[in-house]
Structure 1
Amino acid sequence: MAVVGSGVMASRLSPTDVGLQLLQNSIATGAALVALILALQPVSASFNPVVTLVERALGLMDTRTAVGLIAAQFAGGLAGTVIANLMFGLNAVTLSTHERSGTGLWLGEIIATIGLLLVIFGTIRSGRTERVAFAVGGYITAAYWFTSSTSFANPAVTVARTITDTFAGIAPASAPAFILAQLLGGTVGFFLIRALYPTVPALAVDAADRKVLS
């Protein structure tokens, strides 16, 4: 909802300036992430299937929990897009015509996903779980600009953005390659986490037990 809604607002407020649209979209998305992670951490701040898969691979949750979270992430993303479309007077569902393809964009998604995982798990494994929200919000805001793909870095968000033909949309035909790049980035990120942070401080273990990992 934050990504799509701010994208529509940005395109309406600054219709002739794509750079300003991206700035508005990135600031709103990053700020929303900080707020949502801070508010929802005590319940669940699991918004990203790739992060959830890495958590499962690291043994931080069981398979049943991971499957449930991933299903909820995709459902929540689709619902958020529908609501954003309706808020701005658009059809609830309109398939995007915004094609995004090419090796540069796919590489951008790999890098964006690796970076996101390192920011999340690096912050947690260094014993600073309370700062994850700010780290993630800051990273995504920046990654909008330094990655060629504008950092989707999330399969659920990618699928959700296929049903809005707005600034933030992605054509359904472009989505599978983006998701594949995200999964590849997740795999690389998993091994980097294991290599860079081989031990987990007690604080991080407690956080994982409470399921507050982002």
Structure 2
Amino acid sequence: MEVIANKRDVQGKGASRRLRRQGKTPGVVYGAGKEAVNIELDHNALFHALKREAFHASILTLAIDGAKEAVLLRDYIMHPFRMEVQHIDFQRVDKAQKIHVKVPLHFVNADIAPGVKLASGVVTHIMTDLDVSCLADNLPEFIEVDLADLQAGHSIHLSQLKLPEGVEIASHKGDDAAVVTIVIPRGAVAEDAAEAESAPAAPAAVPPAA
């Protein structure tokens, strides 16, 4: 994904307000041992790009006055009540150094999971993204979590995730935390118990005649 920007020479709160009135968003790009550069971007293009999941967890190509470099989105500030991006930060990527990035989790096959299909359980996502460490070329857009065999009352843990080659978990080290689980709603448990209590008792066995 390519992001178009221009260098921003004028700084300060007043200059930033003027930029926003002109439909621009101020920002900065830093890192990789280079000097930070103040930039400005088209607000509407940026606003729509931020709606895309891949924009938050992919290596982006930032073109500043035509010169291109690989970057990651690191932070952005939204206006408290207006649909306005007020500032954005990008970090340059050194492809020889590992990066830490939050990657979204995509949960698949929930509809055929035994805990859902057979036990009427509800899938509960304990995590929705994962902090990973990898080289830039190995960065996945997402990590898939397969629920096809998940039973009610059971969970999938970090150690059970299938990570792409060259990708490792950067956080939760030593803590095999749960990622997703299937629970049976209390109402369903109560209904099952009530049905069991209201079911007619089996007739007593008649002793054989002497």
TM-score of the aligned structures, taking structure 1 as reference length: 0.22
In proportion to residue count, which structure has more strand? 2
Task: From the CA coordinates, give the structure whose radius of gyration is larger.
Answer: 2
Q: Which has the higher contact order (CA 8 A, sep 6+)?
A: 1
Higher helix fraction: Structure 1 or Structure 2?
1
